[in-house]
């Protein structure tokens, strides 16, 4: 995953775009068939096609797109085992915490691995993601998934971080911490042993309730974290478009037109139906309740004004994002 690839080969993970809210991850295997409501798609037909291609079903009834996996697409197609962090939050957290190629990051809990994929791509081969999950089945599932997606920079540990902390065999030395746990205040005191001592470390706690935020703030203050701030990401789609300017006369003319066309339709209905050579009733050619002619947005024969409109809310697990920093103590021997 995340290595750019032009063409699809056997064994590749492909995200089959079946519809706007329907992306299905598949591992391409000769002989397998992807079954969808738009028809069956033999994997054999996918091999050798460029990523991004449209393929038609075996009986030419429908089509899908074959997409190259990215963390953003994985987030909207992954099998949910828990609530997950969506891209509007993860992208904000990554840039605000200055996570870059080479960064060392702690993440707890792993959950469905949505954010792990985004972290893994951002920190790249020179960085490392230390992810912790205490639920055994979720840990096993995530381990399998990370291996099959070749997330080689992720160290996944089966651990209750609230009781056992973050220490593992290798040095963690994290520059950024992300906690998506029901009780982050219990994990915060364990962090001091696992974070970098010679540079500023950032933390983000992701909590749906304000009571959790209050408890986490207290724990952060007690453990020497500063610059504590809370943010909530309310992502919305914003659409800019043109709307036709209509005067009163236009509205009256439109009503007259509707009436006129209703009358024409009623007259047509009185006539005996026309039939084709096989005796089937022919289309009357006019629908009195139809909508009239479509006008392309911006058609120069009409007057337009620019308007804006917000779309429906984007999919996101709305939580409060609590940020803080730990600055190294001068003269602490580093
Ligand atoms: N951020 C994840 C994602 O984007 O897919 C979702 C995390 S999910 C909301 C929270 C996870 O934390 C659950 O899988 C839960 O089992 C795990 N968890 C809860 N308490 C924990 C603890 N003390 N130690 C480790 N994992 C814990």
DSSP secondary structure, 275-321, as one string = B-TTSPBPP-S--TTS------TT-TTS-EEEEEEEEEEPP----EE
Structure-block tokens of residue 84: 């997950």
Residues 115, 116, 120, 123, Cα dihedral to 10°: 70
Which residue puts its alpha carbon closest to atom 8 of ligand 1?
A: 111
- The CA 321 to ligand 1 mean position distance, Å, reads 16
The answer to whether residues 323 and 202 touch, using CB atoms and an 8 Å cutoff, is: yes
Which residue puts its alpha carbon closest to atom 19 of ligand 1?
A: 181
Which atom from ligand 1 is nearest to the alpha carbon of 183? 20
Number of continuous H segments (helices) and E segments (strands) in the chain: 8, 15
- The CA 86 to ligand 1 mean position distance, Å, reads 15
Mutate to test the pocket of ligand 1, among 79, 116, 134 (most ligand atoms within 8 A of CB): 134
- The CA 109 to ligand 1 mean position distance, Å, reads 3
Alpha helix locations (H) across the chain? 71-75, 87-96, 114-123, 136-148, 161-164, 184-187, 210-222, 248-270
Structure-block tokens of residue 20: 């706007």
The answer to whether residues 286 and 217 touch, using CB atoms and an 8 Å cutoff, is: no
Mutate to test the pocket of ligand 1, among 109, 167, 184, 319 (most ligand atoms within 8 A of CB): 109
Distance CA 62, CA 52 (A): 16
Ligand 1 binding pocket includes 135 (Cβ within 6 Å): yes
Distance CA 129, CA 123 (A): 8
The question of ipTM being above 0.90 is answered as yes
Ligand 1 binding pocket includes 160 (Cβ within 6 Å): yes
**pLDDT confidence of residue 288:** 46
Ligand 1 binding pocket includes 182 (Cβ within 6 Å): yes
Distance CA 203, CA 159 (A): 19
Of the CA atoms within 13 Å of residue 155, those in its CB half-sphere come to 16
Per-residue pLDDT 10s for the chain (334 aa) are 777 889 999 999 999 999 988 999 999 999 999 999 999 999 999 999 999 999 999 888 889 999 999 999 999 999 999 999 999 999 999 999 999 999 999 999 999 999 999 999 999 999 999 999 999 999 999 999 999 999 999 999 999 999 999 999 999 999 999 999 999 999 999 999 999 999 999 999 999 999 999 999 999 999 999 999 999 998 777 888 898 888 898 888 888 988 888 888 888 777 777 777 777 766 655 444 455 567 788 889 888 999 987 776 666 667 999 999 999 877 654 4
Which atom from ligand 1 is nearest to the alpha carbon of 78? 5
Structure-block tokens of residue 203: 């933390």
**pLDDT confidence of residue 293:** 63
- The CA 97 to ligand 1 mean position distance, Å, reads 20
Q: What pTM value is reported for the model?
A: 0.81
**pLDDT confidence of residue 289:** 47
**pLDDT confidence of residue 282:** 67
28 by DSSP, 3-state: which?
coil
**pLDDT confidence of residue 285:** 53
- The CA 133 to ligand 1 mean position distance, Å, reads 6
Partners of 321 in the β-ladder: 206, 231
Which residue puts its alpha carbon closest to atom 20 of ligand 1?
A: 181
Pairing of strands 320-326, 304-313: unpaired
Which atom from ligand 1 is nearest to the alpha carbon of 162? 23
The answer to whether residues 195 and 151 touch, using CB atoms and an 8 Å cutoff, is: no
Q: Tell whether the torsion through CA atoms of 115, 117, 123 and 126 is positive or negative.
A: positive
**pLDDT confidence of residue 283:** 62
Partners of 179 in the β-ladder: 108, 205
Neighbours of 332 (CB within 10 A): 8
């Amino acid at each position: 995953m995340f290595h750019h690839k032009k063409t699809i080969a056997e064994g590749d993970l492909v995200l089959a775009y079946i519809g706007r809210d329907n992306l299905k991850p598949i591992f391409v295997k000769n002989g397998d068939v992807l079954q969808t409501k738009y028809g069956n798609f033999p994997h054999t037909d996918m091999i050798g096609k460029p990523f991004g291609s449209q393929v038609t079903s075996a009986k030419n009834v429908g089509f899908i797109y074959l997409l190259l996996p990215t963390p953003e697409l994985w987030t909207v197609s992954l099998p949910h085992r828990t609530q997950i962090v969506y891209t509007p939050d993860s992208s904000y957290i990554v840039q605000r915490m200055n996570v870059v190629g080479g960064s060392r990051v702690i993440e707890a809990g792993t959950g469905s691995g949505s954010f792990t994929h985004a972290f893994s791509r951002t920190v790249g081969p020179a960085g490392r993601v230390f992810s912790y999950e205490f639920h055994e089945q979720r840990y096993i599932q995530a381990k399998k998934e990370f291996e099959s997606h070749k997330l080689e920079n992720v160290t996944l540990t089966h651990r209750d971080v609230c009781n056992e902390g973050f220490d593992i065999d290798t040095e963690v030395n994290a520059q950024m911490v992300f906690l998506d746990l029901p009780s982050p205040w219990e994990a915060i005191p364990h962090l001091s042993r696992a974070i970098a001592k010679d540079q500023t470390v950032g933390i983000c706690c992701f909590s749906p309730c304000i009571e959790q935020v209050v408890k986490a703030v207290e724990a952060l203050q007690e453990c020497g974290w500063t610059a504590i701030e809370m943010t909530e990401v309310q992502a919305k789609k914003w659409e800019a478009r043109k709307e036709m300017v209509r005067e009163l006369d236009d509205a009256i003319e439109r009503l007259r037109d509707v009436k006129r066309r209703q009358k024409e339709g009623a007259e047509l209905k009185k006539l005996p139906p026309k039939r084709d050579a096989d005796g089937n009733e022919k289309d009357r050619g006019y629908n009195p309740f139809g909508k009239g002619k479509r006008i392309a947005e911006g058609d120069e024969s009409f007057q337009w004004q620019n308007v804006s409109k917000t779309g429906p809310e984007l999919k996101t697990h709305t939580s409060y994002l609590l940020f803080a920093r730990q600055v190294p103590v001068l003269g602490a021997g580093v």
